[in-house]
Structure 1
């Protein structure tokens, strides 16, 4: 979505560098899936630079972009949050995890049986995929990704979830046709919050319980 192939490549490289720093700073093995999220999002932006250079279309770069944006992220985020969560927070995270698994399966099936195409619209990229029940799938996607972050009990992750929720609302309002592309780009930028999260002390992982 980032205006041009050059901008996407630069943004993706920067976000991937943040992801590498997150992985290096991580102190617990179970935090690694979430710490590696900026690496995935950075790679995602770099792949989109290839979509720009191909003038959109339905080639391998477009398919790779869609696989990351749709089924992979829908499952990666709730799994990563669940892995890093303390035992007392895991039960409530089963709902976004189940939503992510169901949404990921539906999106993966749609990508397997339907073509996805990218279209350059001025300084943005739009992606077209004929999805059944798109409203339901978007709701399940946001519950899995934003919902798991907001329910994590970790102040850093709640902050990231809040920023992602705001970004989703803004992107939906301003770029209706390019929602997934713009939201993924916004999420990539917001993932710098994970740099602070990855370097926290273990005692900071969960906010104190309110009596």
Structure 2
């Protein structure tokens, strides 16, 4: 998490558990990408915990709390490049309604374009992270988060909100609320704060698969596949 190493590791454990549970409930291979999201979030939180340990060690030795390197670049890659790519495509991949699948291609390709652009940004050597007001502040030179927030929100929030599955819609709405709260709390530490909130949306992802298994268990043998449109 953005607050300290202990919180990051505890959060990672909770989210990773949700990820394992989600994968265990999967019965359709098209759901696997969406079910892996909690595992990616959990790994992301674990990486931030390691970053906190390194920064705390610098503080104990009287050094300036500032880091750079491959692990910092990897954190930024996951947060700003991978999430806008995998979130919309994972929703599209498991969507059964043809009309919604066509519409979901729009945020999915927006996320793909953003992924390509952010991959270029991640290759810049000057990326660093420091402690700012008790939170982690990731700095990307030449990066304009205010402008890129629009395609990012479109890919990571609007795409899930377009789903025909109730809990997936909740992920999109919850993600938008998390982004809004993070921006209100601190603009400089926005990415780290949002990723903390968004990670716990993984619990909703687990609830989605748990709900689908319950519905599947109530469906009589030989019945046609349930239409997810308007599913509750």
> Common fold, TM-score beyond 0.5?
yes
The residue number in structure 1 matching 2:74 is 64
Asked if 2 retains the 8 angstrom alpha-carbon contact of 1:155 and 1:206, the reply is no
The residue number in structure 1 matching 2:36 is 36
For 1:122 and 1:71, locate their aligned partners in 2 and report how far apart those are by CA, in whole Å: 26
Asked if 1 retains the 8 angstrom alpha-carbon contact of 2:132 and 2:189, the reply is no
The size of the alignment, in residue pairs, is 208
Decide which of 63, 80, 83 is 1:73's aligned counterpart: 83
Structure 2: tracts of 5 or more residues without a match: 56-65, 217-225
Structure 1 position 114, deviation (Å):
4.3
The residue number in structure 1 matching 2:229 is 206
Q: Deviations over 1:119-139 (max 9, x none)?
A: 112431110002444333111
Asked if 2 retains the 8 angstrom alpha-carbon contact of 1:114 and 1:129, the reply is no
Decide which of 165, 183, 198 is 1:187's aligned counterpart: 198
Residue 3 to residue 107, structure 1, CA distance change in 2 (3 Å): same
Decide which of 106, 116, 125 is 2:136's aligned counterpart: 125
Structure 1 position 113, deviation (Å):
2.7
CA RMSD of aligned residues (A): 1.6
How high is the TM-score relative to the length of structure 1?
0.93
Deviates more, 1:135-144 or 1:11-20: 135-144
Residue 204 to residue 189, structure 1, CA distance change in 2 (3 Å): farther
Counterparts of 1:87-126 in structure 2, within 5 Å, are 87-126=98-137
How high is the TM-score relative to the length of structure 2?
0.85
